[in-house]
Structure 1
Amino acid sequence: MELVGSSLTATYAHPKPTPTSFLPAIGTLASTYRDRFPHNNLTHSLSLPWRPSTYYKVVSNTPTLDPYCTRAQRVCESTMLPFVSNRTTLFTRYTPDDWYRSNLTNYQESNTSRHNSERLRVDTSRLIQDKYQEIRKTQANSTQNLGQRVNDIEFWKSEITHELDEMIGETNALTDVKKRLERALMETEAPLQVARECLFHREKRMGIDLVHDEAEIELLTEVDNILCCQERMRRHLDKAIAQLASNRAAQHELEKDLSDKQAALRIDDKCHHLRNTSEGVSFFRGVERVDATVSVPESWAKFTDDNLLCSQSERAASAKLRDDIENLLVVTANEMWNQFNKVNLALTNRVAETADTKNKIYVHLSKTLQEIFQTETTIESIKKAIKEKSAFLKVAQTRLDERTRRPNIELCRDMAQLRLVNEVYEVDDAIQILQQRLRDAEDSLQSLVHTKALLEHDLAVKANTLYIDQEKCMSMRKSFPNTLRLVGFC
């Protein structure tokens, strides 16, 4: 009988059969054992009878007597009585020599079978021990390999866990910086709106004050600066969103690999602690022919190492982007604050300049009003002087008119006549000069009135400009966010 899972190697396991016509050969017997008791039914075959039917031949109940029977006997063979004993027959089937030879053959066959069986038992016992030690050593090697595999999995699992913690921390840090960037981007809307409102209100200046001054240049620069800062913030915000997606993808791969390694560690650890006496051990026929593996140790380690390298690369890129965003927030805050201060300084200077101009206009207006008053007084004086000179002219002309009525020779061009004529001319010239001076004074008064109107208009323009720059623009610019808000902390 063969051992399960092994083959007999001894030469005496298949002895050469002894030729005989009575009993089967040993080889036939061994093959009969193999046919009747397969190795997988070994435990059941022990309960069956030991002697198989192969050792026994079926003897006919009506043996023939050839070649010793006569023809008469063969003729009456069908009419013979039933067989009772050899002593009742006339002839025997074998001779004594045949009988002794058969016994010797059986003895020899028995000795040979027992000897072969004994040697087979000894060799089988040794084979069982050898196979037991070999299988036990193989199982120990398998257990050792499983233990090494468990250590490898635990090592990579610890590496993945460490990298996963680092990646989660980096993702959270980048998320916080992204939120700060979003808040900072939202905070820039208020300064941009203020700058645009200032430009809009300054468009309401009147007349000559609609000048492209330093304040307006700085306001336009502030608008461009804020828009540029917003554009840079949006670009970095898009980069942060893309980097967060890459971080989450790498984190997902690490989590998936970690989950697979945890499952593999649980299975391999269970296999490592399995023993022959463990529960749940059973036969799984043909499982050794199933090859469901998809990797080798090199590709298995490379897969995890690639995941770690990818995660480390994404983490380094995320840290660099985080530093860039931090620097961007500081730079943009400083740029906007510097430009804000420049605009405020320009507006303050412009307000001071406008206020100084307004004060000067007040001085000139007051002087103009005073001059207008004096000019009006002068005009009144001139008119009064003209009126007074008219009385002298009337007297002189009346005298001349009266003297024209002197009779005859009395119409003399005497000194009185000449003096009166000269007086008329002198008075008339004086009146003409005074009238000219009156017209000049009136023209000067008109000019002063026009200047007064211009000064008053310019004063109103300056007052409007001061109201726009000082009351509206400067008051709105008091709501400019502080540095902490511009970097996204509040």
Structure 2
Amino acid sequence: MAQPDEPQPPVVPSCPLPSKICDVARSERPRSCCGMAMAGFRTAKYQLPEWHRRNAGVCYEAVTAGERAERGRAEAEQLVKHAAASAQRAQQRSKATLGQRLQDVHFWRMELQKEIMELDSETKLLAAQKLRLERALDATEVPYAVVVDNLECRERRQPPDLVIDEVERQLLKEADLIRDIRDLLKRTIIQAATQIRSNRIQKENCELDWSDKVETYHIDDKCVGYCTDSTNVQFHPSSVKFEENASTPKSWAQFSHDNISRAEQEKLASVQLRSLINSIIRDASEDLRMQRAATAEALDARCRELDEAKLRLEQRLGQILKDIGEEEANIANLKKAIKEKEAHLKVAHTRLYDRSFRPNVELCRDEPQFRLVSEVEEITVFLEALKRKLMESEQNLKNLEETRMKLEKEIAVKANSIFIDRQKCMSYRVQYPVDLEVASYKQ
């Protein structure tokens, strides 16, 4: 339709048109006076009404074509305006959609970047904890070597001091504790290494997703900048179709969400493992410290006990030595007494012997004879008693000598045990680490 302010086309006066422009009414033609000789020229010509009708038909067709062309121009103009407005609106909507998409990509990119940084920091913290575990494991080598050396040294004790005492029980308990701690530290180191590997794998996944987001952001940002005046735009008909492997907005967002969720899970597991490592090192250090104190206390008590036993033995040895001296003096006195009594017996025997030579009736059982016989019997009884006492004293002296040897041997054994426990074990335990937790921080 023509607009009201547009000029109207000129109106062509209507003229009557025949039903058929080229229809010639042969019957209305005037007859020629020239006869049959002019018949051919007369039949090839139109009548004047036919000529008017034909002109009127040509004019009608021209007017119709003009009107049709005018309607086409108006419609074309409207189509151009509508297409331009529609294309502009579509481009603005696409630009707005791309802008919203840029915001979404930027959001997930920043979330991924934040997660990557946090996961990287957490991995470094866990690696530091793993290093603490390794240092703590190295620090247990000295205590274990000390305990093994103590047990081997105490195997060199001599009987009867080669006993399963409280010190040995504490040393065996300490050795078992250190082995358990070492096994626990080794298992925790493996667990930490596995968690670090999982953290790095998830960090790599997030980095790949972040890299794709960065590239996508640059592409969409470049697309937002395109306009009809851009010099680097061109036709790409093949890009209109959707790719078969293209994701949906839901799956696209879910992919990044899953990556972040898995990263959060790994980070949480890493935090929990770091807390567990702190507890393990702290508890192991405390258990080892308490066991070390118990072993040291047992060693100290055992050394005091050995000192007391050795002192008692030395005191007893002193008494035995005194008894030996007295017994030796007693034996000497007994021998002297026996010798004296034998001298008296000799006198009595000699008297009796000489009096046995008294002649005839003089060989009388007189009072001196009875007295001499009584004296011999008395001296003989005393001699036998003295000899028995001498034998008893000599046996006592022998027993005392054996006791002295046993005491000296026991004292030597106790001295050896004291040397092993105090000089070997306790002095070597000075190299024992003060604190396993402190040792885990040392370079």
Q: Bin the TM-score by the shorter chain.
A: 0.7 to 0.9
Q: State the match for 2:378 in structure 1.
A: 426
Q: State the match for 1:95 in structure 2.
A: 46
Tell me the amino acid that sits aligned with residue 414 of structure 2. K
CA distance in 1, matches of 2:141, 2:398: 53
> Is this contact kept in 2: 1:329–1:486, CA < 8 A?
no
Is the partner of 2:274 in helix, strand or coil?
Answer: helix
CA distance 1:378–1:318, shift in 2 (3 Å): same
Q: State the match for 2:58 in structure 1.
A: 106
> Is this contact kept in 2: 1:181–1:487, CA < 8 A?
no
Tell me the amino acid that sits aligned with residue 117 of structure 1. A
CA distance in 2, matches of 1:227, 1:484: 14
Is 1:237 the equivalent of 2:189?
yes
Is 1:284 the equivalent of 2:236?
yes
> Is this contact kept in 1: 2:433–2:439, CA < 8 A?
no
Is the partner of 1:206 in helix, strand or coil?
Answer: coil
Q: State the match for 2:411 in structure 1.
A: 459
CA distance 1:284–1:93, shift in 2 (3 Å): farther
Q: 2:97 aligns with which of 132, 141, 145?
A: 145
Is the partner of 1:209 in helix, strand or coil?
Answer: coil
Deviations 1:187-236 (A, max 9, x none): 11221221122112112111111121111111111112222222322332
Is 1:407 the equivalent of 2:359?
yes
Tell me the amino acid that sits aligned with residue 133 of structure 1. A
Identity of aligned residues (%): 36
CA distance 1:482–1:20, shift in 2 (3 Å): farther
Is 1:331 the equivalent of 2:283?
yes
Deviations 1:425-473 (A, max 9, x none): 2222222111111101100001001101110111111011111111111
Q: TM-score w.r.t. structure 1 length?
A: 0.79
CA distance in 1, matches of 2:44, 2:134: 119
Q: State the match for 2:26 in structure 1.
A: none
CA distance 1:20–1:333, shift in 2 (3 Å): farther
Is 1:389 the equivalent of 2:368?
no
CA distance 1:431–1:20, shift in 2 (3 Å): farther
Is the partner of 1:207 in helix, strand or coil?
Answer: coil
CA distance in 1, matches of 2:177, 2:256: 47
Q: State the match for 2:163 in structure 1.
A: 211
> Is this contact kept in 2: 1:354–1:466, CA < 8 A?
yes
CA distance in 2, matches of 1:20, 1:182: 113
Is the partner of 1:95 in helix, strand or coil?
Answer: coil
CA distance 1:435–1:94, shift in 2 (3 Å): farther
CA distance 1:308–1:425, shift in 2 (3 Å): same
Consecutive unaligned residues of structure 2, counting only runs of 5 or more, are 1-18, 23-39
> Is this contact kept in 1: 2:281–2:437, CA < 8 A?
no
Q: TM-score w.r.t. structure 2 length?
A: 0.87
Of 477-486 and 94-103, more deviation after overlay is shown by 94-103
Q: State the match for 1:306 in structure 2.
A: 258
Q: 2:269 aligns with which of 303, 310, 317?
A: 317
**Larger RCO (CA within 8 A; separation ≥ 6):** 2
- How far 1:289 sits from its partner (Å)? 2.3
Alignment coverage as a number of residue pairs: 406
CA distance in 2, matches of 1:422, 1:20: 208
Superposition pairs of residues 439-454 of structure 1, within 5 angstroms = 439-454=391-406
> Is this contact kept in 1: 2:115–2:263, CA < 8 A?
yes
Tell me the amino acid that sits aligned with residue 433 of structure 1. A
CA distance in 2, matches of 1:486, 1:220: 25
> Is this contact kept in 1: 2:126–2:274, CA < 8 A?
yes
**C-alpha root-mean-square deviation of aligned residues, in Å?**
2.0
Q: 2:322 aligns with which of 367, 370, 388?
A: 370
Is the partner of 2:384 in helix, strand or coil?
Answer: helix
Is the partner of 1:489 in helix, strand or coil?
Answer: coil
Deviations 1:391-411 (A, max 9, x none): 111111111111111111110
